[in-house]
Amino acid sequence: MATVNLTHSVPSSLPLTPFVNEPFVDFAQPENKRRMQAAIADVQSKLGREYDMIIGGKRLKTTGKIFSMNPAHPAEVIGVHQRAGTEHVEPAMQAAQAAFTTWSRTPVADRADLLFRAAALIRERSFEFCAWLTLEVGKNWGEADADVGETIDFLEFYGREALRLHGTTTPIQLPGERNQLRYVPLGVGAVIPPWNFPFAIMAGMTAASIVCGNTVILKPSVDAPTIAAKFMELLEEVGLPDGVVNLCPGEGPDFGSAVVAHPQTRFIAFTGSKAVGLDIHERAAKTQPGQIFIKRTILEMGGKDSIIVEADADLDAALDGVVASAFGFNGQKCSACSRAIVSADIYDVFCDRLQERVSKIKTGDPAENVYTGPVISEKSYRKVLDYLDIGKKEGTVLNGGHAIETPEGGYYIAPTVIADVAPTARIALEEIFGPVLAVIKSHSFDDALSIANNTEYGLTGAIYTGSREKLDRAREEFNVGNLYFNRKCTGAMVGAHPFGGFNMSGTDSKAGGPDYLLLFTQAKSVAEKLGHASPAAEKQAEQMGM
């Protein structure tokens, strides 16, 4: 259980309990299974609806459209969305700036309360949101539930964190002065989330922005805009003022690049590929005419993550962790294990048992709660198949290595294990973002650590060993932002595992941790010399905790 320090003053209107992660749903329970099936049927009856762009509370339609499709049934339209262009950047910016003048001065307790109310509604409608995730991006029920639960966690956690920051005091109060440290909002930010966690990351980055008093131009992924539209509906329902969040689906090279380059965009919160993240970083670094600040980039850009398995490991636990990390949500997580680095002493038996386990994985329609489903799109499908062709030349295929044909034409690829891969092979170094695991032999613990650190990324990693000495060495030498001992390398929990990586994995922003909201604020120190205000003003300042 994660907790948040609430020793600072909290408004009495918000009696908060310590933060606790949202529990997972047990779909083995008949009632939960029934509710999920009913939610899927209900959502299927709502497919194909058209959603508006929302700028300053006004609904807009465009000639160009974005069609969100079900990756398990590519002919099935989930939602039709407007296509924002460069002509929409300035209206969105003006609406966000206008809203900022009042939202930035809204009491932090009110901003936090809005997050708490949104979390409560999502909790009430969790099965519905799970169903949207299953149909729009192909998550099985458990993966969808984890996404929804993390969304709730982000809202609850960031609301409490905003209150904690509001109660911050300076380490020292100088004699004769009243010293105050305030965390104030930055301004208008661009939030550019990914499709693989289209609810949790999208809502998390948006919530972190607005609870700190910023306003947002939200550009959801073209592969998952319906979830963002549903979240926007919910924000409006709980009373978010017009213009605080402006929903603008659009293509990255068009609308997204223009928002990033705008001289009044104060920060960019992005999760996605390395190539796009670096382009955002470069564009943000170029000062535009009329720009009076340095833009801040909050970037999470993927990984090439390894699990080290030593000869003294609990082999069953290691196999469980590797398989879950590699093939959960079809390997489409930046935290996914794409490399198993296995000691030569157990390499053959590990590969034999891994092959046996992976052969039992079922692939099919996630609406039927099959363990692995489709990859997100035809573009991703073609990319993974190209890497399979490369992998067949770089190692020995133990499982998969091919597409799975279905009558509906879904984008299915068999869970693939390729053994005997060299540490410098392309499939060992390049991010594939699909159900592909490379198995690499290590000849010593030094060799294993060297291989684990040989990529340009540094997001997650894990090690299975019974040796305290090896764990202690890994703690210092395994160069990743999220390191796990004797457990899988996916499934970071808000509050317990602040998430973000090193090197080309991004700016190590540590989402879901106590430092995250600092990235959406700037610190302002205020010192007042005592004895120059009226007694009434002094007393009022004391009551306000200044």
Measured CA to CA, the distance from residue 211 to residue 479 in angstroms comes to 32
List, by residue range, all CATH 3.40.605.10 domains of the chain. 30-64+87-301+506-524
**Region 185-207: what's the mean pLDDT?**
98
Q: What is the pLDDT of residue 253?
A: 84
Which superfamily is assigned to 305-485 in CATH? Aldehyde Dehydrogenase; Chain A, domain 2 (3.40.309.10)
Query: Read out DSSP for 325-381?
Result: HHHGGGG-STT-EEEEEEETTTHHHHHHHHHHHHHT--B--GGGT-SB---S-HHHH
Predicted pLDDT of residue 541: 53
In whole angstroms, give the CA distance from residue 542 to residue 535: 11
CA 4 to chain centre: 21
Which is catalytic among the residues 334, 337, 351, 489? Answer: 334
Laid out side by side, the sheet with 49-51 consists of 49-51, 73-82, 65-70
Give whole-number Cα distances, 466 to 224, 313, 344, 449, in Å: 42, 5, 16, 16
Structure tokens at 262: 């705008």
State the chain's mean pLDDT as an integer: 95
Among 150, 300, 310, 431, the active-site one is: 300
What 2-7 contacts at long range (C-beta under 8 Å, 24+ apart), as own/partner pairs, is 2/157, 2/493, 2/494, 2/495, 2/496, 3/495, 4/157, 4/160, 4/161, 4/164, 4/495, 4/514, 5/164, 6/160, 6/163, 6/164, 7/167
Q: With a cut of 80, say whether residue 199 has pLDDT above it.
A: yes
SS3 assignment, position 508 = coil
Q: What is the pLDDT of residue 6?
A: 33
Lowest mean pLDDT among 294-298, 448-452, 542-546: 542-546
**Sign, Cα dihedral of 150, 151, 156, 158:** positive
Is it the case that residue 326 has pLDDT exceeding 80?
A: yes
Which residues are CB-contacts of 243 (< 8 A; sequence separation ≥ 6)?
55, 56, 57, 95, 96, 98, 99, 103, 215
Instruction: Give the per-residue pLDDT at 10.
Output: 37
Question: What is the average per-residue pLDDT within 138-146?
Answer: 98
Question: How far is CA 55 from each of CA 102, 241, 316, 408, rounded to the nearest angstrom?
Answer: 17, 11, 53, 37
**Alpha carbon distance 251, 246 (integer Å):** 16
Residue 131 in tokens:
């169903």
CA gyration radius, the chain: 24
Rounded to the nearest 5 degrees, what angle is found at the Cα of 318, between the Cα atoms of 456 and 340?
30
Per DSSP, the three-state class of 317 is helix
Please give the pLDDT value at position 65: 98
Is the distance from CB of 337 to CB of 303 less than 8 angstroms?
no
| CA atoms of 423 and 61, how far apart (whole Å) | 50
How do residues 423-461 score in pLDDT, each as one tens digit?
999 999 999 999 999 999 999 999 999 999 999 999 999
Least confident of 52-66, 119-133, 248-262, 365-379: 248-262
Asked whether the CA dihedral 103, 14, 239, 46 is positive or negative, the reply is: positive
For residues 178-184, average pLDDT: 97
pLDDT of residue 537: 60
Name the β-bridge partners of 216.
Answer: 189, 245
Q: CB count, 10 Å around CB of 101?
A: 10
Q: Which residues contact 353 (CB under 8 A, 6 or more apart)?
A: 315, 319
Q: Identify the pLDDT of residue 4.
A: 32
Q: How confident is the model at residue 531 (pLDDT cuts 50, 70, 90)?
A: confident
pLDDT tens for each residue of 490-511: 999 999 999 999 999 999 999 9
The pLDDT of 349-371, averaged and rounded, is 98
Sign of CA dihedral 459, 462, 467, 468: positive
Residue 195 and residue 223 in contact, taking contact as beta carbons nearer than 8 Å = yes
What confidence score (pLDDT) does residue 91 get? 98
User: Is 300 one of the annotated active-site residues of the chain?
Assistant: yes
Nearest Cα neighbor of 319 from 356, 290, 292, 344 is: 356
Question: Which stretch of 7-21, 269-283, 415-429 has the lowest confidence by average pLDDT?
Answer: 7-21
For the domain made up of 30-64+87-301+506-524, give the CATH fold: Aldehyde Dehydrogenase; Chain A, domain 1 (3.40.605)
What does the pLDDT average to over 82-101? Answer: 98
Q: Where in the chain is the domain with CATH 3.40.309.10?
A: 305-485
What distance in Å separates the CA atoms of residue 211 and residue 524, rounded to the nearest whole number? 17
For 296, phi then psi, to 5°, come to -105, 135
Q: What is the mean pLDDT of residues 396-415?
A: 97
pLDDT at residue 252 in the model: 76
d(CA 409, CA 385): 15
pLDDT digits (tens, 9 = 90+) for 466-477: 999 999 999 999
Share of the chain above pLDDT 70, in %: 95
Is the pLDDT reported for residue 11 higher than 50? no
- From the list 297, 296, 264, 290, the residue with the least C-alpha distance to 91 is 264
